[in-house]
Amino acid sequence: MAATSSSPPPRAPGKRRPFRDYWDRVTEGAQLDDLGRQFLSEAKASYRLYAKDVDWDEVGRGRGPGRFWRSAGALFQAMLMKLSPARRVLLLIAIVLIVFQPQIRWGARGEANLRFGGVGIIILFVLLAVELADRVTMKRDLEIAREIQQWLVPERAPNIDGIDIAFSTRPQNTVAGDYYDAFIRPAAPPSAAQPPLLVVVADVAGKSVPAALLMATFQASLSALAATPVSLGEIVDGLDRYCRAHSLDGRRFTTAFLAEIDPQTREMNYVNAGHNDPVLRRASGRIERLSTGGPPFGIPSLTDRPIEYASARVQLCPGDLLIIFTDGVIEAVNESNAEYGEAKLLGCIPSAPQETSDATLKRIMSDVNAFVGPTRQHDDITCLVLRVTA
């Protein structure tokens, strides 16, 4: 039986459908059920934003219908306080005019009157336009910041014989606090015969602009340290000192996984600074987790002495697959608020045939997308896949 298509029939040449064209432009081609799920996801995110500012212990006192109105009033107050003082006053005036609809009568018998309900609607529309203008301006600035941030991460993986690398990142907002990179160091450390391949994935605590700014400083520090002939341990110590000096008493720490790979011998020296343990799938199918290291960068030390980070060496062989990811991957949630989890990630990896890193990466990200569905992303998602081909 031939498959039937649900797409609309092609439009006859020259036939205009202004309403349909306008609707398609407004919805960007999305179906009604997709729009409904998107709005529901955005509504939940907005509720969580306002609910953080509500004293629910105070609201929860007592029962009955009064509790509902206290909750509604508390949420409205939280929303009101997000506005500037002038806009708060205008919003309150608009609500009063719309609800009570005051009017002025004149004439000998009051035959003429002026209602102010429409004025309240106009004020609401003006407030919406002003808020939208702020949002558009902020979005434009964030788009510029995103372009700058994209300069800090590689557009494509380095071309190294026998090593295939692919990476992908998806910010929770316009800009992200995740960082990834893979490059041949400009200078070789004393113990190496040639400059090694440096691979790093990092995750700054927090989201959006604050995390993105710290990510930029982390990238600058790493680039400066990697350009000098120092060991991986010295790079790690330097990053930790810098992060502790700018961590706001540990509130802005950074988890990271750093590894140096000898392009000739394929020996990897790594340090895990509080990051999710990367997955090393051997050609035989055996799974190893890379956990040697220490706490996240920026965690205050109990003493004045720097934290000592342990390192480990692993011999990579042809067919081995290394997957480094941030917690946004395994903590991605679906509509039921269930997490993707490491079990699903590990279940996706062993089935990987001998394919390119890019194909493996796409399969992992597609599996995460299928699990999450229309649920709004709540954290940055970054994954780097490295396969030894020879």
- State the DSSP string of 336-381: T--B-HHHHHHHHSTT--S--HHHHHHHHHHHHHHHHTTPPP-S-E
pLDDT of 66: 73
Stretch 84-101: mean pLDDT: 89
The values of phi and psi at residue 138, to 5°, are -65, -40
Tens of pLDDT, residues 364-382: 999 998 998 878 777 889 9
Please give the pLDDT value at position 196: 94
Lowest mean pLDDT of 87-101, 237-251, 356-370, name the range. 237-251
1 pLDDT higher than 50? no
Q: Provide the pLDDT confidence category of residue 120 given band limits of 50, 70 and 90.
A: confident
Q: What CATH number belongs to 154-388?
A: 3.60.40.10
237-254 burial string, b = 16+ CB within 10 Å, else e? Answer: bbbbebbbeebeeeebbb
- Mean pLDDT score of the chain: 84
pLDDT-derived band of residue 15, with 50, 70 and 90 as boundaries?
low
Q: Which residue has the higher pLDDT, 4 or 343?
A: 343
Name the least confident of 154-158, 232-236, 257-261: 154-158
Q: What is the pLDDT of residue 9?
A: 54
Reply yes or no on whether the pLDDT at 2 is more than 50: no
Give the residue extent of every domain in the chain.
51-56+71-151, 154-388
Q: Which of 3-12, 100-109, 230-239, 244-253 has the highest mean pLDDT?
A: 230-239
Strands 293-294 and 267-273, by their bridges, are: parallel
Comparing 64-78, 90-104, 108-122, 315-329, the range with the smallest average pLDDT is 108-122
Model pTM?
A: 0.72
DSSP 160: B
Give, in order, the Cα–Cα distances in Å from 255 to each of 186, 252, 340: 24, 10, 20
pLDDT for 4:
44
Q: Cα Rg for the chain, rounded, in angstroms?
A: 28
C-alpha to C-alpha distances, 200 to 305, 341, 362, 378, 385, nearest whole angstrom = 25, 22, 20, 23, 11
Q: Could you tell me the pLDDT band of residue 266, with boundaries at 50, 70 and 90? A: very high
Average pLDDT over residues 320-345: 91
What is the percent of the chain with per-residue pLDDT over 90, rounded to a whole number? 40
Comparing 100 with 297, the larger pLDDT belongs to: 297
Give the model's pLDDT for residue 11: 55
Confidence at residue 126, expressed as pLDDT on a 0 to 100 scale: 92
Is the pLDDT reported for residue 314 higher than 80? Answer: yes
**Per-residue DSSP letter, 303:** S
Q: Quick one: pLDDT at residue 3?
A: 44
Which of 87-91, 114-118, 309-313 has the highest mean predicted lDDT (pLDDT)?
309-313
Q: Is the pLDDT of residue 141 over 70?
A: yes
DSSP state of 108: T
The model's pLDDT over 198-218, given as tens digits with 9 standing for 90+, comes to: 999 999 887 777 777 888 888
Looking at residue 5, its pLDDT comes to 43
CB-count exposure of residue 222 (10 Å: 0-12, 13-18, 19+): buried
**Distance between CA atoms of residues 229 and 334, nearest Å:** 46
pLDDT band (50, 70, 90) for residue 16: low
